[in-house]
Amino acid sequence: MNDDSVELIAGDDDKHACNYVANKRRSYFILLVYSAILGIRSCFLPEEDTLLDFILGLPLLILGIMWCYVVAAECGNRIG
């Protein structure tokens, strides 16, 4: 194997590592913004448990699961 092929393989790893960092950063940002929106919303609505609370909380669950998959993929594991 020559040095050119080694550099190409290392470059592919850097590209994937950068992709994980971008996905993590995007997940952090979306979770932060959505949590702020839910925090502001909770100040103006009554404290009763409604279907709307479930519907608005569902994206947090989905984002949390998405975060777990990104971290598992970065570590080379698979969530089953």
- Give the pLDDT confidence score for residue 7 in this predicted structure: 47
- Give the pLDDT confidence score for residue 60 in this predicted structure: 85
Residue-wise DSSP of 21-70: HHHHHHHHHHHHHHHHHHHHHHHHS-S---HHHHHHHHHHHHHHHHHHHH
Which amino acid is located at 44 in the chain?
Answer: F
pTM of the model as a whole:
0.58
φ, ψ of residue 47 in degrees (nearest 5): -90, 15
Q: Residues of the chain whose pLDDT is less than 70?
A: 1-18
